[in-house]
Amino acid sequence: MAEPLQPITRSPLYEVVAQRLQEFIAGQSLRPGDRLLSERELAEQLGVSRTSVRQALTALRVKGIVDVRHGDGVYLRQAPADLVPTLASEVANAEIDHPMIWEVREGVEVQAVRLAARRREPEHLDAMRSALVAMERSIAGGGDGVDGDRLFHRAIVDATGNRFFGFLVDLISDAMDRTSEASLTLPGRAPISLQAHREILAAVEEGDEDAAAASMRRHIMVSAEMVVGQQR
């Protein structure tokens, strides 16, 4: 017998309450925007203290299921989607290798630079320029310029004015860290990369989104080929 006795695990009360609330929401087919009962009413109906209800609501709030408004009430934020946690663990566990990540990165960054070229503001251009300067200085000193590289790409993402891209870039770099270190410091790569960045910046400055996209695509494909090729 593998499990002679099931280990007893008392779930904390607030967890039980949170689950009960989720079931209630799903069962009553409440719609996003609907208001839940007040904390005091929930506490009474569930037979627990208001503190426990509040803790459960905090959990639901963090999960993005519920929206708590001071002085107003608790509102439903979405249909209960256990999709997100599922997806998250999938990415963490799925066998995703370096080439796959580079392919995704290509799509995301090319689109980002398109938007950046369309909406560039002086501040973003400044950030990109100073990132390039940092890169040049590092390379001139024998470094790999990887910090400037990061800053440059981050500046592009910021210039999109679209938070979603920031999330994706974080996700991608996280996935990359997890697969292998695959250093970006290949001998002879830095000057090539620097030149590519200059092209991209020029296109963005001119607001030529097609040129920017093309340059970025080339840049990423070259980088991917170098890094992935090295692993073989």
For its own copies, the binding residues (CB under 8 A) are: 12, 14, 32, 51, 54-55, 58-59, 61-64, 70, 77-81, 83-85, 87-96, 100-101, 103-104, 106-108, 110-112, 114-115, 160, 162-165, 167-168, 170-171, 174-175, 177-178
Q: Minimum Å distance from CB 51 to DNA?
A: 3
Following DSSP, what letter does each residue of 31-94 receive, concatenated?
Answer: -TT-B---HHHHHHHHTS-HHHHHHHHHHHHHTTSEEEETTTEEEE-SS--THHHHHHHHHHHS
Closer CB to DNA, 36 or 128, in the complex: 36
- Could you identify the residue written with the tokens 């099931």? 6
Q: Could you say which of 26, 28, 33, 41 contacts DNA (CB under 7 A)?
A: 41
85 or 207: CB nearest its own copies: 85
Picked from DNA, its own copies, none, the partner binding residue 41 (CB below 5 to 8 A depending on kind) is: DNA
Residue 23 or 147 with smaller CB distance to DNA: 23
Q: Is 167 exposed, middle or buried (0-12, 13-18, 19+ CB in 10 A)?
A: exposed
Query: Can you tell me the distance from the alpha carbon of 12 to that of 9, in angstroms, rounded to the nearest whole number?
Result: 9
Q: Which residue has the tokens 């609501």?
A: 57
Q: CB nearer to its own copies: give 32 or 191.
A: 32
